[in-house]
Structure 1
Amino acid sequence: MDTGKEKSNIPEKSQSFVSRNNEKDEKKEGNQPDSDQNHPQNNEITTAEAQEPPPDGATEVEQDNVAGEAKQDNVAADPETEIKEGEEATDLKNEESSPLPPDLNKVSEEIDQYISNLSSSKQDDSNPPDVPIFVEHFAVLVEAKIEDYDYSDSPVKWIQLSKEDSTSFLDSVNRVCRLSSALSEFSSEYKYAYTINRIDGVLQRAMSYIEEEFKSLLEDHKLSDLDHNNNHSKPRQSTSSNPNQDAPEPGPVEETNSPGYVDENLSNLIRLSTAMILGGYESECRLAYFVARRNALDESLHKHGFEKHSIDDVQKMQWESLEREIVAWLKIFRQCAAVHFPSERKLSNAVFSDYPLISESMVSCLSRNMVIQLLTFSKAVAMTKRAAEKLFKFLDIYEVLRDVLPTMESLLSEEIVDELKTETSLIRSWFADSMISIFGELENSIKADSGKTPVPGGAVHPLTRYTMNYLKYACEYKDTLEQVFREHQKIDRVESATGSEFEYNPEAQAQNANNEAKQSPFQLQMMKVMDLLDANLDAKSKLYRDPSLSSIFMMNNGRYILQKIKGSTEINSLMGDTWYRKRSSDLRQYHKCYQRETWGKLLNCLHPEGLNVNGKVVKPVLKDKFNSFNKMFDEIHKTQSSWVVSDEQLQSELRVSISNMVIPAYRSFLGRFSSVFTPGRQTEKYVKYQAEDIETNIDELFDGNAAPAGRRRV
Structure 2
Amino acid sequence: MRTIFSKSPSPPTHHHTFTESLIEENIEAAELSITKWDSLHGDDHVSYCNIASVFSENNRDEAKQYLSSIKGLQKAMRYLASLESTSDKLVRAQTLMQTAMKRLEREFYQILKSNRNYLDPESVSNHSSSRPSVSRSSFSDSEEDESENDSIPEVERGSSAVIADLRAIAEAMISAGYAKECFKIYRTIRKSIVDEALYNLGVERNLGFQQIQKMEWETLEVKIKYWLNAVKGAVKTVFYGERLLCDQVFAISSSIRESCFTDVSKEGALALFGFPENVAKCKKTPEKMFRILDLYEAVSDLWPEIESIFSFESTSTVRSTAVNSLIRLSDAVRTMLTDFEMAIQKHSSKTTVPGGGIHPLTRYVMNYISFLADYSGVLSDIVADWPLQISSPLPESYFGSPDKEESISSPISVRLAWLILVMLCKLDGKAEMYKDVALSYLFLANNLQYVVNKVRQSNLKLLLGDNWVTKHEQKVRKYAANYERMGWSKVFASLPENPTAEIPVDQVIEHFRKFNSAFEEAYKKQTSWVVTDPKLRDEIKLSLARRIGPIYKEFFDKYGGVQLMKEMWAESLVRYTPDDLGNYCSDLLFGSGSSGSISSSSSQGGGYSR
Q: Same fold (TM over 0.5)?
A: yes
User: In structure 2, what is the equivalent of residue 395 of structure 1?
Assistant: 293
Contact 1:218-1:289 within 8 A present in 2 as well: no
CA deviation string 1:72-93 (max 9, x = no partner): xxxxxxxxxxxxxxxxxxxxxx
Matches within 5 A, 1:204-215: 205-215=102-112
CA deviation string 1:643-689 (max 9, x = no partner): 22211111111111111122112212211221333459844433332
Distance in 2 (CA, whole Å) between partners of 1:523 and 1:267 is 54
Cα offset, 1:560, TM superposition? 1.4
Cα offset, 1:149, TM superposition? 9.5
Cα offset, 1:452, TM superposition? 0.6
User: In structure 2, what is the equivalent of residue 454 of structure 1?
Assistant: 352
User: In structure 1, what is the equivalent of residue 564 of structure 2?
Assistant: 677
| Distance change in 2, residues 1:172/1:438 (3 Å) | closer
Distance in 2 (CA, whole Å) between partners of 1:319 and 1:647 is 36
Distance in 2 (CA, whole Å) between partners of 1:169 and 1:611 is 115
Q: Residue 42 of structure 2 aligns to a residue in which SS?
A: helix
Q: Residue 147 of structure 1 aligns to a residue in which SS?
A: coil
User: In structure 2, what is the equivalent of residue 704 of structure 1?
Assistant: 591
The one of 501, 504, 509 aligned to 2:394:
504
User: Could you tell me which amino acid in structure 2 is paired with residue 640 of structure 1?
Assistant: Q
Q: Residue 298 of structure 1 aligns to a residue in which SS?
A: helix
Q: Residue 392 of structure 1 aligns to a residue in which SS?
A: helix
Cα offset, 1:403, TM superposition? 3.8
Distance in 1 (CA, whole Å) between partners of 2:92 and 2:488 is 116
| Distance change in 2, residues 1:270/1:506 (3 Å) | closer
User: In structure 2, what is the equivalent of residue 656 of structure 1?
Assistant: 542
Matches within 5 A, 1:298-317: 298-308=195-205, 309-317=207-215
| Distance change in 2, residues 1:699/1:279 (3 Å) | same
User: In structure 2, what is the equivalent of residue 633 of structure 1?
Assistant: 519
| Distance change in 2, residues 1:459/1:481 (3 Å) | same
Contact 1:314-1:381 within 8 A present in 2 as well: yes
The one of 546, 554, 557 aligned to 2:444:
554
User: In structure 1, what is the equivalent of residue 505 of structure 2?
Assistant: 617
User: In structure 1, what is the equivalent of residue 41 of structure 2?
Assistant: 146
Higher relative contact order, structure no. (Cα contacts within 8 Å, ≥ 6 residues apart): 2
User: Could you tell me which amino acid in structure 1 is paired with residue 107 of structure 2?
Assistant: I
Distance in 1 (CA, whole Å) between partners of 2:235 and 2:153 is 17
Distance in 2 (CA, whole Å) between partners of 1:437 and 1:181 is 68
Give me the TM-score of the superposition, normalised by structure 1: 0.64
Distance in 2 (CA, whole Å) between partners of 1:137 and 1:592 is 105
Contact 1:486-1:522 within 8 A present in 2 as well: yes
User: In structure 2, what is the equivalent of residue 468 of structure 1?
Assistant: 366
Contact 1:552-1:590 within 8 A present in 2 as well: yes
Distance in 1 (CA, whole Å) between partners of 2:540 and 2:270 is 60
Q: Number of aligned pairs?
A: 552
Percentage of matched positions with identical amino acids: 24
| Distance change in 2, residues 1:161/1:416 (3 Å) | closer
Distance in 1 (CA, whole Å) between partners of 2:499 and 2:229 is 79
Matched, 1:694 2:581: yes
RMSD value, Cα: 4.7
User: Could you tell me which amino acid in structure 2 is paired with residue 636 of structure 1?
Assistant: A
User: Could you tell me which amino acid in structure 2 is paired with residue 596 of structure 1?
Assistant: R
User: Could you tell me which amino acid in structure 2 is paired with residue 649 of structure 1?
Assistant: K
The one of 591, 595, 602 aligned to 2:484:
595
Contact 1:150-1:209 within 8 A present in 2 as well: no
Cα offset, 1:370, TM superposition? 5.0
| Distance change in 2, residues 1:536/1:306 (3 Å) | same
User: Could you tell me which amino acid in structure 2 is paired with residue 666 of structure 1?
Assistant: Y
Distance in 2 (CA, whole Å) between partners of 1:643 and 1:622 is 31
User: In structure 1, what is the equivalent of residue 280 of structure 2?
Assistant: 382
Cα offset, 1:273, TM superposition? 3.8
Matches within 5 A, 1:23-62: none
Contact 1:142-1:202 within 8 A present in 2 as well: no
User: Unpaired segments of 5 or more residues in structure 1?
Assistant: 1-111, 121-131, 230-253, 498-502
Contact 1:523-1:574 within 8 A present in 2 as well: yes
Q: Residue 460 of structure 1 aligns to a residue in which SS?
A: coil
Matches within 5 A, 1:263-662: 265-266=162-163, 268-270=165-167, 272-308=169-205, 309-335=207-233, 338-340=236-238, 342-348=240-246, 350-352=248-250, 358-359=256-257, 362=260, 371-413=269-311, 415=313, 422-487=320-385, 489=386, 495=391, 504-505=394-395, 511-512=400-401, 521-568=411-458, 570=460, 573-574=463-464, 577=467, 580=469, 582-607=471-496, 616-618=504-506, 622=508, 625-662=511-548
Matches within 5 A, 1:58-207: 116-117=23-24, 143-147=38-42, 151=46, 155-156=50-51, 158=53, 163-164=58-59, 167=62, 171=66, 175=70, 178=73, 181=77, 189=86, 199=96, 202-203=99-100, 205-207=102-104
Matches within 5 A, 1:209-248: 209-221=106-118
Distance in 1 (CA, whole Å) between partners of 2:334 and 2:535 is 36
Distance in 2 (CA, whole Å) between partners of 1:421 and 1:209 is 35
Cα offset, 1:369, TM superposition? 5.1
| Distance change in 2, residues 1:332/1:136 (3 Å) | closer
Distance in 2 (CA, whole Å) between partners of 1:463 and 1:259 is 58
Whose radius of gyration is greater, 1 or 2?
Answer: 1
Contact 1:277-1:285 within 8 A present in 2 as well: yes
Distance in 1 (CA, whole Å) between partners of 2:63 and 2:422 is 83
Distance in 1 (CA, whole Å) between partners of 2:447 and 2:397 is 22
Contact 1:115-1:178 within 8 A present in 2 as well: no
User: In structure 2, what is the equivalent of residue 91 of structure 1?
Assistant: none
Contact 1:401-1:428 within 8 A present in 2 as well: yes
Q: Residue 41 of structure 2 aligns to a residue in which SS?
A: helix
Contact 1:638-1:706 within 8 A present in 2 as well: no
Contact 1:548-1:593 within 8 A present in 2 as well: yes
Distance in 1 (CA, whole Å) between partners of 2:153 and 2:264 is 20
| Distance change in 2, residues 1:574/1:136 (3 Å) | closer
Matched, 1:668 2:565: no
Cα offset, 1:446, TM superposition? 0.6
Q: Residue 452 of structure 1 aligns to a residue in which SS?
A: coil
| Distance change in 2, residues 1:538/1:376 (3 Å) | same
Contact 2:30-2:70 within 8 A present in 1 as well: no
User: Could you tell me which amino acid in structure 1 is paired with residue 450 of structure 2?
Assistant: Y
CA deviation string 1:477-517 (max 9, x = no partner): 33443332233x379x694x7xxxxx5236768x449999x
User: In structure 1, what is the equivalent of residue 7 of structure 2?
Assistant: none
Distance in 1 (CA, whole Å) between partners of 2:410 and 2:57 is 71
| Distance change in 2, residues 1:154/1:437 (3 Å) | closer
Distance in 2 (CA, whole Å) between partners of 1:352 and 1:412 is 16
Contact 1:146-1:206 within 8 A present in 2 as well: no
Cα offset, 1:115, TM superposition? 7.7
CA deviation string 1:221-258 (max 9, x = no partner): 575669x99xxxxxxxxxxxxxxxxxxxxxxxx98797
Distance in 1 (CA, whole Å) between partners of 2:49 and 2:373 is 65
| Distance change in 2, residues 1:287/1:376 (3 Å) | farther
| Distance change in 2, residues 1:289/1:197 (3 Å) | closer
Distance in 1 (CA, whole Å) between partners of 2:222 and 2:376 is 24
Contact 2:357-2:447 within 8 A present in 1 as well: yes
Cα offset, 1:451, TM superposition? 0.5
| Distance change in 2, residues 1:351/1:196 (3 Å) | closer
Q: Residue 325 of structure 2 aligns to a residue in which SS?
A: helix
